Amino acid sequence: MANIGTRLLEMSFGRPSGPLGRIGGRLMARGNAATERHLVEIADLGRQDAVLILGPGPGVGLEAAGARSGHVIGIDPSELMLESCRRRSAELIGSGTVRLARGVAADTGQPAGSVDVVLAVNNVQIWPDWRAAFGELHRVLRPGGRVLVSAHEKWLPGGLAALAAAVERAGFEEIRTWTWEPPGRSATTAAQLRARRAVTAETTS
Ligand SMILES: C[S@@+](CC[C@H](N)C(=O)[O-])C[C@H]1O[C@@H](n2cnc3c(N)ncnc32)[C@H](O)[C@@H]1O
């Protein structure tokens, strides 16, 4: 059974809910905004790209992606965070640029080969099953599509080496990893990864 500290962290940041989730959402919208925007920037999104954002939380990156691409889908298991995304991106949702759905990385509900770019900031470290999740991302990406992931380095289990190994096992290629320092004195180092789904058909293991 999860201890009380773990439960409080879960309610604040892991799968935000209730009053703690509201506070967590506000903190994340401020503290993680630079990283969210940076990942969108380096993803080099085109207007026609279909972009899947996992765990958008309060939706800063979702909004930034919606300013560049005409087709953005945000998937999050937290109804509270989906509501926050709805408020932040109301216009983009109204115009049909941004869509939201409840789900998790391992089960996005998206059709096979329907996505050009997957982005995930600060949630890969809490996905319970990397094999299932990266297998799902490989499935929904079109051949040649790319995935970009960022996580607080200090909270990434096994570090970038473990993350890259999981991504490779799922069949991705051209895997690159690096760290990035967000601006601000309290910001922590971001561990980041980029990979591509092979253009030739591959099976996941
Ligand atoms: C720590 S917050 C990060 C939010 C935002 N990306 C940021 O960096 O500020 C984690 C987010 O991922 C969501 N999440 C939790 N488990 C998930 C999973 N298995 N797949 C996708 N998203 C998940 C949570 O509901 C929450 O919105």
As a whole number of angstroms, the distance between CA 175 and CA 55 comes to 22
Q: At a CB cut-off of 8 Å and minimum separation 6, what does 189 contact?
A: 152, 153, 154, 179, 180, 181
Pocket-testing residue among 123, 140, 148, ligand 1, by greatest number of atoms within 8 A of Cβ: 123
More confidently predicted of 195 and 184: 195
- The full set of domain ranges for the chain reads 34-197
Q: What share of the chain is helix, strand, coil (3-state, %, to 5)?
A: 40, 25, 30
Q: How far apart are CA 145 and CA 15, in angstroms?
A: 28
Q: What is the pLDDT of residues 74-97, one digit of tens each?
A: 999 999 999 999 999 999 999 999
Instruction: Give the pocket of ligand 1 (CB within 6 Å).
Output: 13-16, 28, 32, 36, 54-57, 76-78, 81, 104-105, 121-123, 126-127
- pTM, two decimals, is 0.95
Q: Whose CA is nearest to atom 9 of ligand 1?
A: 28
Q: Quick one: average pLDDT of 31-60?
A: 97
pLDDT band at residue 185 using 50, 70 and 90 as cut-offs: confident
Question: What is the spatial distance between Cα 4 and Cα 191, in angstroms, rounded to a whole number?
Answer: 28
* Domain 34-197 -> CATH class: alpha beta
Which amino acid residue places its CA nearest to atom 11 of ligand 1? 55
Kindly write down the DSSP assignment for every residue of 19-47, as one continuous string: HHHHHHHHHHHHHTHHHHHHHHHHHT--T
The rounded Å distance from CA 200 to ligand 1 centre is 31
pLDDT of residue 186: 79
Categorize the per-residue pLDDT at 200 as very low, low, confident or very high, splitting at 50, 70 and 90.
confident
pLDDT band at residue 201 using 50, 70 and 90 as cut-offs: low
Residue 31 CA, closest ligand 1 atom number: 9
pLDDT of residue 1: 54
Residue nearest to atom 17 of ligand 1 (CA): 104
Residue with the smallest CA separation from ligand 1 atom 24 is 15
Look at residue 73 in the predicted model and tell me its pLDDT: 98
Q: Which ligand 1 atom minimizes the distance to the CA of 56?
A: 6
pLDDT of 25-43, one tens digit each?
Answer: 999 999 999 999 999 999 9
